Structure 1
């Protein structure tokens, strides 16, 4: 999986996928903007802007903070109104945009990537999270038991997007996925 992610470039993506990726990015940015007035968004932004290098922006506020803090705050804003997009499959309730896009924006800004590189990483994050979502098939079954599918699939989406932008080696990205699996499901990886 890591080799495939790292080998795909913008020019490999079909036009309709690029168009959809742009729409997903704009949609998530709109959701984050709308959520910027929420008290929870403002509290997180205040807490995380106090320490660290000013690497990446929190949307709307114009504050810069460490990339991982910016990804967390933007991701929280993306989810706080529960308006994020979802992977549409029979038994899937995954929201790949709320994890892929904040991670890609934060890492992309810090690494000074191009728009094409950013969009490619976001699309790959969607693809990986959606494929894992389809494979595990938990959807409604676990939502009813209080288990949110994005908590399993989302870290893989974020790792794929960030790993692509960071130009990780296949082994480094595979190790990132191992950490995601261990944290999401308690595997022994």
Structure 2
């Protein structure tokens, strides 16, 4: 009997695997990048309402938080760490689906490593499996899923979180399928929330709900037989044209993690070529003086996600082509400070934003952008960027990611040893106790590991 798609994916997630060295290396890079963005996010004041509420209702405080002294119960810790990784929109990106793979998955594994024995090898295997599950489900529902308004990191990320947690908990294939079913009942997230803190709340929920799904399945709670491909299952309900073969084709032979990319700038990935074009023109002498108009042209996806001429906050700036051009042209930089509330309110940037327009060209590839500056007396200068730094064709090196970690840790003014953190991540495959990872990136120096038992 041919197994169902849900059973096949669950069997893979629960079964024996041998990770290629390249996948292990990419897992380490993803984890390092995720912790870097989590450290930056921990310093963002907009995360504090979520932290205060989670702390108010927390159970036993057995788990640490990235970049903080606070401790929370495992579910709440996964939630806060996931939203912290995602809040600046500086985390990794899966090409084709625009899912951010690490934020929903890594915090679950870090929480579990603090309450049960988890080796570094097991953590990396579970991370790779969780990313594989969420990205394959995202492949199966794309591109219609996002166009319908579903925020794919939250909606598909909950399945990756469930798979990763269930693997660490050593659930069998049937229990893994039940975890998928329980996760499907908790999947949510809307594109309408982009530009607000509610977007990252959805990502935090994906991590927390995925962990909850695995723990409930471990305790005997059951879900539907066909949570993914059933007539009213996740894929048929949320996709225009379901591609079920993408769930299982090459399963265990090809790895979506090897396609992962990392951002050089803290904003939506569609803005990478826009920022690069602006930086290049500024380097050649372009400036804001005398600018009449700036025209950004790109694939319709660019306009769909980032044509936002009127913005009010740094969150909205992260998905505004108008702001990206104006801020970089004004400041010749594209860091966290340039996508902040203060930058949005900067009069010089506000004036320039009003001069930027976005045009669509369906013939241009996704990931490309053309920028033209028009000055008084008819002077025009432009730049076409086909593949920006951070794209698959121009991937960030490990050295780039380390530099990003160091910069973000410094920007957040955190007493964290980046050398120690880097050493822990690089030694993960051989470490007996993966909870060293959290200890390397938390400000809490005193609380010992607390082992929780499952009765």
* TM exceeding 0.5: yes
- State the TM-score, normalized to the length of structure 1: 0.88
- State the TM-score, normalized to the length of structure 2: 0.38
Q: How many residue pairs were aligned? A: 183
Take 1:105 and 1:155, find their aligned partners in 2: how far apart are those partners? 16
Contact 2:13 2:176 in 1 (8 A): no
Alignment CA distance shift 1:137-1:143 (3 Å): closer
Deviations 1:138-171 (A, max 9, x none): 3xx4545532112221011100111111112222
Contact 2:38 2:81 in 1 (8 A): yes
| Equivalence for 1:23 | 29
Deviations 1:14-63 (A, max 9, x none): 00100000000010000000011111223322332343112211111132
Matched, 1:132 2:137: yes
| Equivalence for 1:97 | 102
| Equivalence for 1:147 | 150
Take 1:169 and 1:142, find their aligned partners in 2: how far apart are those partners? 30
| Equivalence for 1:183 | 186
Contact 1:96 1:153 in 2 (8 A): no
| Equivalence for 2:304 | none
Take 2:172 and 2:46, find their aligned partners in 1: how far apart are those partners? 36
Matched, 1:83 2:90: yes
Alignment CA distance shift 1:37-1:128 (3 Å): same
Match of 1:58 among 51, 58, 65: 65
Contact 1:111 1:166 in 2 (8 A): no
| Equivalence for 2:259 | none
Contact 2:104 2:154 in 1 (8 A): no
Q: Report the more deviating stretch, 49-58 or 118-127.
A: 49-58
Take 1:61 and 1:36, find their aligned partners in 2: how far apart are those partners? 7
Match of 1:68 among 72, 75, 89: 75
List structure 1 segments (4+ residues) > 6 angstroms apart after TM superposition.
none
| Equivalence for 1:162 | 165
Match of 1:5 among 2, 13, 16: 13
Take 1:40 and 1:168, find their aligned partners in 2: how far apart are those partners? 36
Contact 1:3 1:170 in 2 (8 A): yes
Contact 2:13 2:129 in 1 (8 A): yes
Gaps of 5+ in 2: 1-8, 189-226, 235-455
Match of 1:45 among 48, 51, 58: 51
Alignment CA distance shift 1:188-1:4 (3 Å): closer
Deviations 1:104-156 (A, max 9, x none): 11122222311111111111111111111111113xx4545532112221011
Gaps of 5+ in 1: none
Take 1:117 and 1:66, find their aligned partners in 2: how far apart are those partners? 21
Take 2:171 and 2:41, find their aligned partners in 1: how far apart are those partners? 32
Hey, which of these two has a bigger chunk of helix by percent?
Answer: 1
Alignment CA distance shift 1:188-1:132 (3 Å): closer
Take 2:151 and 2:233, find their aligned partners in 1: how far apart are those partners? 21
Contact 1:18 1:119 in 2 (8 A): yes
Take 1:183 and 1:74, find their aligned partners in 2: how far apart are those partners? 19
